[in-house]
A and B are shown apart, each in its own frame.
Chain A
Amino acid sequence: TQTVSQSDAHVTVFEGDSVELRCNYSYGGSIYLSWYIQHHGRGLQFLLKYYSGNPVVQGVNGFEAEFSKSDSSFHLRKASVHWSDSAVYFCAVRSTGGLSGKLTFGEGTQVTVIS
């Protein structure tokens, strides 16, 4: 069984400041990790993914994430947030084995950007 934990339910950050959203997972095998953003009343939009290779991956709109096998983590970062980054962010994990492509999501982190 794979689990994903996002320790911060809500983060408030000033526009122009940096932000880091934490994601920790629990799974014994090989996995695929991703981050999604959900603006209010909308569906999820893909930000970035990691499967192998360089542990730092770049995504859309200046987001990046870093994978750490030792910490079982996949934290999301942005150097300078914009008001439009206010949304809920979900970390997701998927097993690379087997036939199912189902994603297991974390609880989500609500990000509020203030000026």
Chain B
Amino acid sequence: NAGVIQTPRHKVTGKGQEATLWCEPISGHSAVFWYRQTIVQGLEFLTYFRNQAPIDDSGMPKERFSAQMPNQSHSTLKIQSTQPQDSAVYLCASSLDLQNNYAEQFFGPGTRLTVL
């Protein structure tokens, strides 16, 4: 079990460029989460998929951010026209189905995004 895989581990973009972050959840996990971590804001929830369907995107900024889960083996977080304030570590997590048990979320190592 390789755990949650996130690529790339580090990404540097120029202001205004697009960034796409990838997440491969643990095989068999039906819930996928994205969080953002900064020194100032701490850990913030962004969005959540269950069985590939978007369930809760209440934490996603209304502009420039989007997330997809085209199949059960990967999810992407896309940031268009990146800004310096988007610099953060983006964490992906996965868990078993939440309906029948309060399963813990397993986190990937994160992608550190730096916007110059």
- Chain A positions near chain B (C-beta within 8 angstroms): 32, 34, 36, 42-46, 49, 51, 90, 94, 96, 99-108
Contact of B104 among A46, A102, A106, A108 (CB under 8 A): A46
Identity of the chain A residue whose Cβ is nearest the Cβ of B105 in the assembled complex: A103
How many residues of B are in contact with the other chain, CB < 8 A? 25
Identity of the chain A residue whose Cβ is nearest the Cβ of B92 in the assembled complex: A43
What distance in Å separates the Cβ of B102 from its nearest Cβ neighbour in chain A?
Answer: 5
Does A105 contact B43, Cβ atoms closer than 8 Å?
yes
12 contacts between A and B (CB under 8 A): A45-B107, A49-B104, A51-B102, A99-B56, A100-B58, A101-B31, A101-B50, A102-B45, A102-B48, A103-B43, A108-B42, A108-B43
Does A43 contact B109, Cβ atoms closer than 8 Å?
yes
Within 37-59 of B, Cβ neighbours of A (below 8 Å) are at 42-43, 45, 48, 50, 55-56, 58-59
Does B110 contact A101, Cβ atoms closer than 8 Å?
no
Does A101 contact B42, Cβ atoms closer than 8 Å?
no
Identity of the chain B residue whose Cβ is nearest the Cβ of A47 in the assembled complex: B104
Task: List 9 additional A-B contacts (Cβ < 8 Å) besides A102-B33, A105-B42, A108-B42.
Answer: A44-B107, A51-B102, A94-B102, A100-B58, A102-B45, A103-B33, A103-B35, A105-B43, A107-B42
Which one of A42, A43, A51, A108 has the greatest number of beta carbons of chain B within 10 Å? A43
Given known A-B contacts A100-B48, A101-B33, A101-B95, A43 and B43 have beta carbons under 8 A apart: no
Does A44 contact B48, Cβ atoms closer than 8 Å?
no
Does A43 contact B110, Cβ atoms closer than 8 Å?
yes
